[in-house]
Every structure is written in structure tokens, then in C-alpha cells.
Amino acid sequence: MSTIFTINCGSTSTKVAWFEDNHAIARASLDVPLASLADMPKVLDQTAYRTAQVREFLQSNGLDATGVDIVVARAGTIHHVRHDGAYAVNELMIATLKFAPAAQHASTLSCLIGIELVAGTDIPVIIYDPTCVDSVDEIAKITGVPEIVNLPVYHLLNPKAAGHRYAASIGRAYNELNLVIAHLGGGITMAFHDHGRVVDWIYDDGGPMSPQRAGAIPTRFLTDFIYKSGWSHQQMRMYLAGKAGVAAHLDTQDLREVERRVIAGDEHAELVYRAMAYGVAKGIGQLACVRAGAVDQIILTGGIAHSDLFTGWVRELVTWIAPVTILPGEHEMEALAEGGLRVLRGEEAVHDYDVYPPGYSSIEEIITRPSFLA
């Protein structure tokens, strides 16, 4: 029997689970209140707070991290890699996440917490299915500004697992199908999965707004907003990716509260909530075009997919493209554990992480010359 500890840091929670083979024997979602986040403006500021929460979870369940066979973490904001699957958390990855991350996101903390929990042991710590796998069609990277190459970033872990689940339910394999999969969470990303390869995508800054993120904003308005704000580069990035969207419109990112307002007759809340669903549907239509409408199934997954109201609004706009399957929730912990189990059984190799951030050529340089996102 193999023991696997999984860690998945999201914007406002840290999900943890202890597995024995495929069976979770203890799990929790450790909330990080907005009031606490206000005192920790940078993602890395949250490391000690979240690590303490995880230690308390282990202690309360009579578990010891130094007794596991492997720690599997959600991938953080590393730079682009060529393959999906497992990557060893090494010195280069840690330096990159601390001093030159690709973006500000709480997922960065997952493997850092894992390393801290098993410090002084030889227990392997890996990440699995990072958000920055570059498998997309080259044409999808071209933008109207030659100096800007649109490199892919998208939720991969849960959507790929959802793709496998759907395929199995109809007696097919994930790599036999064309799927448009929308991950509906704190950030909303969508991708076209062409027979197991993501060929195009919409990241959470290029599509609909989400509970916390601004989504796509017309450049003419965004430019004015940025220059008039008086905010620093980092303040603006953190606002657009953490305090905008539904949170900015309705002063809450809790969609359960939003639905209560809608049901109570709050017309403004309904307009904002519908606008988010409308944006998801537009994104699905956009992605369907990249293979001329050859879509076998549309899949809606993630936490927001639990909402019949929200998914109903999306479904009524996109069923002309393909049938819609709702696979609510985030089965990322199971996907992480399954990846770790395959590694332990020798069924899957662990990739070496060897990608330096743009503009850096050594670990020492990364540490001594942090990026503005550090």
C-alpha cells in the first residue's frame, strides 16, 4: 500500500488529502478568510499561515507527513514546459516560485508547503499537470502586437480528469474525442482538447470575468484605467487577478450569496451573474471554431458547475454546438493522487524541471535579482 499526501492551494482555501492508494482516508478544505488575506497582500506572505493550517490538519488526524511515500502538489506558477504529468520539485523550481514566478497565484504555495512538511527527509515532492503546458497550435499564440507571444496558461489538472471521466462513462478514451472543457472556479479557463492534446485555450484574463478576476477588458478602456489608477504594476496585477470580477461588482466572491440575492429579486446581482455565464458561453463558441465545430462534447466542471442556475444559462446558449455534460466539483485531489500513484508504481516518469525564467540563466541570478512579481 502506498501513502500519498496531496496539497492544492487555491485563492481562498488550501485543499489537502491523505490517500492510501486510491482511497482518501482524511481530507479537508482549509479556508483562508478574506480578512486574513488583506494582511498578506503578496502570495508568498501566506506561506507560514497556510503551512500552519496544514500542520494542524495533520496533527488533528493523527498523521505525520514524514511517513508518506510521496507528496503531490498542485503546480505553481512555473514557466512553460513541453509535457504534462509529473515534475520533481527542485532547487530551480523553488527559486523560480519565490523570486521570479510567472504570475501571482496561490497555487505557487502548494509545493512550497510540501517541501516544508518533509524537510530533512528524502521523501519526493512533485507537481502534477501544470497550468503552463505548451502543446497548443502555433497559430493560437500570434497576437496583434509582434512583441507579445500569447503563451498558453490554463487549468489542466481538473479538466483533463473530467475529460477522462466523461470518456469512460461512454466507453471511450479521452484521447479519442474532441472536447471543449470549461473549468469554472475562482478563475475561469477553457480549452479545446483535440484527442488528448490542448490545441487552444482561453485563460482567465482573456475570457469571462470570474468571482475574483476581471477577464477580458477592451484595451482602450483598460489602458486609461491603468494610467489613471495611480497604482503600481503589482497592485494592478493583483487587483485584476484577485479583487475584480464579481467581487468588484457585488462586494462578494461567494456565489452562493450571489444566488441568494438573485432569488430574492436583486436585478443587478442577476445581471452580473448572467454576464459571467454569457461570457462562458461566448468562450465555448470561440473555441468550437478552432476545429470548425467538430466538438463531440462540451463539459462544464469546477466548483461553479454545482450551480444549476449558472450552468442552465450556459447550456441554453451552447447546445447548438454540441451536447453539454455537467461534472461539478474539482476532483483535483484524486487526480493528484492518481498521478503520484502512477509515479510510485513506475508507470510514469518524473520530468526534470529545467526551465529558467525569461531573462535569467542561473539560480543565483534568480535569487539576487527578483522579478517585480516576487
337 and 248 inside one domain: no
Residue 374 falls inside a structural domain: no
Q: Is the CB of residue 337 less than 8 Å from the CB of residue 72?
A: yes
Residues with Cβ within 8 Å of residue 315, at least 6 apart in sequence: 300, 324
161 and 128 inside one domain: no
Domain that holds residue 216: 138-328
Rg of the chain in Å (alpha carbons)? 20
- Residue 94 is part of a domain; what is its CATH number? 3.30.420.40
253 and 295 inside one domain: yes
228 and 209 inside one domain: yes
41 has pLDDT over 80: no
Mean pLDDT of the residues in the chain: 94
Q: Tell me which of 82 and 224 has the higher pLDDT.
A: 224
Q: What is the pLDDT of residue 32?
A: 83
As a whole number, mean pLDDT of residues 213-237 equals: 95
75 and 197 inside one domain: no
Residues with Cβ within 8 Å of residue 233, at least 6 apart in sequence: 372
Residue 12 falls inside a structural domain: yes
Residue 109 falls inside a structural domain: yes
- 215-219: long-range contacts (C-beta < 8 A, 24 or more apart)? 215/188, 215/245, 215/279
Euclidean distance between CA atoms 28 and 31, whole angstroms: 9
pLDDT band of 373, cuts 50, 70, 90 = confident
Closest CA to 305 of 136, 92, 159, 87: 159
Residue 230 falls inside a structural domain: yes
Residue 373 falls inside a structural domain: no
247 has pLDDT over 90: yes
Cα dihedral angle (94, 99, 100, 103), rounded to 10 degrees?
Answer: 90
147 and 296 inside one domain: yes
Residue 90, SS3?
coil
DSSP labels, 225-291: HHHHH---HHHHHHHHHHT-HHHHHHS---HHHHHHHHHTT-HHHHHHHHHHHHHHHHHHHHHHGGG
221 has pLDDT over 80: yes
Residue 197, SS3?
strand
| Per-residue cell: 211 | 468571482
Residue 280 falls inside a structural domain: yes
| Per-residue cell: 69 | 511515500
Residue 162 falls inside a structural domain: yes
Closest CA to 363 of 122, 170, 97: 97
163 and 300 inside one domain: yes
111 and 193 inside one domain: no
287 and 363 inside one domain: no
36 has pLDDT over 90: no
pLDDT band of 330, cuts 50, 70, 90 = confident
Closest CA to 187 of 159, 151, 211: 211
What is the per-residue pLDDT across 270-326, written as a single tens digit (0 to 9) for each?
Answer: 999 999 999 999 999 999 999 999 999 999 999 999 999 999 999 999 999 999 999
Euclidean distance between CA atoms 154 and 29, whole angstroms: 22
50 has pLDDT over 80: yes
277 and 128 inside one domain: no
Q: Tell me which of 68 and 12 has the higher pLDDT.
A: 68
21 and 39 inside one domain: yes
234 has pLDDT over 90: no
Q: What is the pLDDT of residue 266?
A: 98
Structural domains counted in the chain: 2
pTM score, two decimals? 0.83
Exposure class string for 4-21: b at 16+ Cβ within 10 A, else e: bbbbbbbbbbbbbbbbee
Q: Tell me which of 5 and 1 has the higher pLDDT.
A: 5
275 and 149 inside one domain: yes
As a whole number, mean pLDDT of residues 201-224 equals: 96
SS3 content of the chain, % helix, strand, coil (to 5): 45, 20, 40
As a whole number, mean pLDDT of residues 192-204 equals: 96
